[in-house]
Amino acid sequence: MEIASRRIVLINATTSPGLTWVKQQIRQATAWNKSPRFLIHDNDGIFGQFRDRKRRGEKGRHCRCRLDLWLSDVMGIEGIPIPHGAPNASPHIERLNRTLREEALNHFIFLNVRHVLRVCAEYRDLYNGARPSQALHAIPDPYPELSEPPPKETGRVEARPVLGGLIRDHRRAA
């Protein structure tokens, strides 16, 4: 998630996450955009924790895990692991996870990873395009090239079904 705009940049799933898979997701999330300065991530064992908890990367930054070392040396991004058991350290992502789970994932019985990805992709499109963030005072989409033309001021309102009718996106008819 891009914190400034509350835009979901990438959603992906796998049955066997590992450090190489996480690195590939970071490459995909930063391929088209300017690389972020910081990356907040879980303090998970799959990231290859160092015993002494501090190693220095090429630029002299302290790194707590192999992911932070790779981020620093290869991507030029400072990795910030959140403490164990501290969900308030990444409130935006925790809220997105809760909303995604409550509004979409809890309502399906998933057959495979592709099914999860299809539901998450449809929810991402709804979240990015139809749900202005209240934290940003409902500011319109910061990526106007990806959005539809502005709606008319008057006219009939239509409800477009999302996720098979589980959620409805209300818009003015063309």
* Average pLDDT for the chain: 79
Q: What percent of the chain has pLDDT over 90?
A: 16
Residues with Cβ < 8 Å from 87, sequence gap 6 or more?
Answer: 94
Under the banding of pLDDT at 50, 70 and 90, the label for residue 174 is: low
Q: Using the structure block, give the residue that is written with the tokens 């449809």.
A: 122
Query: Which one of 6-15, 31-40, 133-142 scores highest in mean pLDDT?
Result: 6-15
pLDDT digits (tens, 9 = 90+) for 106-155: 999 999 999 999 999 999 988 887 766 666 555 555 555 555 566 667 77
Query: What is the predicted pLDDT for the residue at 82?
Result: 84
Domain ranges of the chain: 19-144
Q: Which of 104, 124, 114 is nearest to 164 (CA)?
A: 104
Interatomic CA distance for residues 15 and 110, integer angstroms: 13
Which pTM was predicted?
0.73
Amino acid at 59: K
Confidence class for position 81, pLDDT limits 50, 70, 90? confident
pLDDT at residue 29 tops 80 = yes
State yes or no: pLDDT of 48 exceeds 90.
no
CB 29 within 8 A of CB 41: no
Query: What's the per-residue H, E or C state across the chain?
Result: CECCCCECCCCCCCCCCCHHHHHHHHHHHCCCCCCCCEEEECCCHHHCECCCCCEECCCCCEECEHHHHHHHHHHCCEEEECCCCCHHHCHHHHHHHHHHHHHCHHHCCCCCHHHHHHHHHHHHHHHHHHCCCHHHCCCCCCCHHHCCCCCCCCCCEEEEEECCCCEEEEEECC
Tell whether the model's pLDDT for residue 58 goes beyond 90.
Answer: no
